[in-house]
Every structure is written in C-alpha cells, then in structure tokens.
Structure 1
C-alpha cells in the first residue's frame, strides 16, 4: 500500500464518489493526504459510508450532496462543497469561493443509452446533461476557487475511443470530455493548472454489472484486456492519483488509456 502523503494540504472534489470508480478515487486521494469532498447525487448513505471509511483510515473527507443534470447543479455542488470546506478547515476562505480547491475529478456519469435505433430524446438529453454539461459548468465553478497549480481530471471511457454502437449516446457524451480536456489544458496552462482525461475500460462496478452476470460473460470481458482480467476501481484511482500529484506537472491535455490494454 502506498503510504506517501503526497497531497497533504490539498483539497479535492470527486463527483460520483459514493461507489465504484469514484469511491476508489476518493479513498486514494484521501490516503495520499488530501481533504476530499465526496460528492453524491442520490445515495447519501453510500457517500456517508465512504466518508466514514476514509476517516476510519486516518483520512479527511466530507459529503457533498447535489444532483447533476438538473438546472443549477453546479451552483448546488459548490454551495455544499464550500460549506463542507469551511466546516473541515475552520476558516472562512471558502466563504467567497477563494483558494479552496486544488483537485477537481469529474467522475460522475450515467450510461445505458442503447444503439441509435432505440435512442429516445429524453435519454440522450440525460446523457449529455450529466456526462458533458455538468462537468463543463463544474470546471467553470471550480476555477475561481482553484489555486494556481491545480488539477482537473476528467473520467472518460474507452467507449469514446473504440466503436461501441450499443452505447452511442454514452460514447458521444464521453467524447465531449476528451475535447474539453484539450481546450482547457491550453487555456489554463498560464495558471499552472493541468487538465487530463483518464479512459477506463471494463471496470468491476455497478454500471456494467449486467455485462458479467455469468462466468462466461465475465471471462469474455476479462479476455478483452491484455492482462486477462476485469479492472478494479483501484486500477483507475492509482492513475488519477498520479495526475493529482506534482509528479504529473509536465503532463496536460492528454487522454490516458487505463483500460488494461483492452482490444490491443
């Protein structure tokens, strides 16, 4: 286990951190010393469980509750985040949104769009609202709070770089994150802020549970990785931890494939 406290004094916000990849990221950043805002959209109990686990292991965290994909979502996230930072740091720095954030991880997302022949406008709009629009305006809200030298890390998907016709709207929404990363990396470099994308492949989370309901299905997914296994949230979290650290200071505007060599 990595015991280096490389993020001591840093403040992070991880969206969709109540389960799966987001939980793994929140726990890893806290283990590295960051104070972590554990965002959730619906399951407060899951987020509180993550916070409790982090605190039990000697880390620092607080819940941030706000639904994404609805009007005013970014404002609601940062209202809860600012309140949590004030409570945890016993300062008023977050009162005006200044110098209260170092690391933003846009992880929250929804899936299940289906092939184009089955697509309906409501599902498409939901995909774009949660997976693309929300991260865009979360970055906008983060920038006045983010200290120079900060980190923006977007969790995309292998689906944005391979053909997955069964999830076309989902793939499109994640592809938008890749493009946003390029643009923001150029724009924010003057402040020393790096912006990167991490692209997981098949990770053992609730999101893809339907694809591994039998031993045969699990084996088929595992076989798509060069390592012949399904990825774990920690496999992605460790990549995010690198991008959140000072070790990644010369890396920006990149898509980092964290798929375990899927479909090589």
Structure 2
C-alpha cells in the first residue's frame, strides 16, 4: 500500500485531498495544528478504505518534518507521496505588509515545504512524487498578493528545481495552482462582492470550482498515470489565469461615475 504525507490536512483542500487518496487505497499521514479540526477530519475519513494516521503539529515547528516522516515509517513502513498544502490566506499588498506578516507567509508557505521535502527525500520509496499546492496568484499579478504571491512564487521555483535535481532518481515534483474555491480559508473573501465578481465574471466555466477539483488534480499528479509529468505547475482554475474572459454581464456593465 502506498503512503502519502499531506500537510494542512484538517480542512479545505487538504481534507478533501486526504479523502481522495484514502478512497484510492493510499494510506495517509495527515499533519495539521488544530486538534479540534483534526478530530473532525478523522471522523470524516473514518469509513474510507485506506488507513489514516495523524499528527497534530505546526508545520513551521523545527521538529515537525522529522516527526511526520517518522510517523509514516513507523505506522506504514514507507513513504511514497508528499503533498505540501498547509497555507494561510487574506494577504495584503506590499505597502500594507509588516515584517511579521512577511515572515509568517514565507515561513508557512515556502520554508516549511522546503524543510518537509528535505526530510522526506531520504525516506521515499521509488518511484515517488511531490505535489506543492501553489496558487494562481503566483502565475498572474494578483491584486493584494504581496507576501502570499512571493511565497507561492518561490514554491513554484522550488518545484522546478526538485524536478531537475531528483527526477532521474524517480522522484517527480509538480505543483497545482488552484483558483479561488470555497473553503474555510476563502469563504469570508467570497462574501466580498468585488472579490467574488473578480473570480466568477472572469472565469470561462459553466460552474464554480471546488476543493474536489483541486484534490483530483493532486491525486492524478501522484499516480503512475502521470508518470512522465515532471516540473509542471498546473492551474486548476477554470481558465481564470490563462484567458482574457469576461462574462456577458461584465461586458455589458455600464460605468457609473
């Protein structure tokens, strides 16, 4: 049985991804820092066919990568997949960002994945896969991206390095760049009409995206079926980042001075 280590597993994209792996018969080691959310996540995964082990820990803590990898080896005897998903939202533009926010975003969404990868590399069975969860805000400018865009852009660059460095060792590295999908991290932003319209009116899709869309992309990039895909950043956004689409409502809007 293959084994996946997933950070930020207790809610949102992380939880749905864990469920997708478990349904596919892949054991999961989930890492998240909130014990109450983790308990609810465990309950949500209880009836799925593959086993789940969890670690309540902050991914930015110095000992978390080693503890997470050790748990995978102790419980399941191997590690085949790493999904770096833990993150935080609500960024601010550069002029509104203080050093504390800059450090928090870089620590959580760049340094922590780097360190988790470093701990996982010697433990991997081969072939193995790494999927880093990036963002469309690392592909396009993105209003208010600030430190968030910087961290996710660094994660994309790290992904490309990993693909080159370790691909010949049968360890693939790719990233998914989700658009805005409803999760506990984004729900308050989607209540803002301007933010919601920026996403819905500029996405050439007949429906909104979901966490399941992102989870299925992560799962596929971790499967043998995608075995010749390496060093790619896959946007899962309904075309938002790659088109100049505007809905009919947006095109026919009348500017009010």
- Same fold per superposition (TM over 0.5): yes
**Residues 145-184 of structure 1 mapped to structure 2, 5 A cutoff:** 145-184=123-162
Gaps of 5+ in 2: 244-257
CA distance in 1, matches of 2:84, 2:66: 15
CA distance in 2, matches of 1:52, 1:120: 38
Q: Give the deviation of 1:70 after TM superposition.
A: 3.4
Partner residue in 1 for 2:248: none
Q: Give the deviation of 1:66 after TM superposition.
A: 1.3
1:108-161 Cα distance to aligned partner (Å, 9 max, x none): 012233011111001100100010000001000001110111000000000001
Question: TM-score if structure 1 supplies the norm length?
Answer: 0.86
Partner residue in 1 for 2:64: 73
Partner residue in 1 for 2:92: 114
CA distance in 2, matches of 1:254, 1:183: 11
The structure 2 residue matched to 1:205, chosen from 180, 183, 187, is 183
Partner residue in 1 for 2:105: 127
Single out whichever of 118-127 and 162-171 deviates more from structure 2.
Answer: 162-171
SS at match of 1:12: strand
Contact 2:199-2:240 within 8 A present in 1 as well: no
CA distance in 2, matches of 1:224, 1:39: 34
SS at match of 1:101: coil
CA distance in 2, matches of 1:115, 1:146: 38
Matched residues, number? 242
Question: TM-score if structure 2 supplies the norm length?
Answer: 0.88
1:46-72 Cα distance to aligned partner (Å, 9 max, x none): 223222322313332121221022333
Q: Cα RMSD over matched residues?
A: 1.8
Q: Give the deviation of 1:29 after TM superposition.
A: 0.6
1:202-242 Cα distance to aligned partner (Å, 9 max, x none): 11112222222267764553222211543110000111111
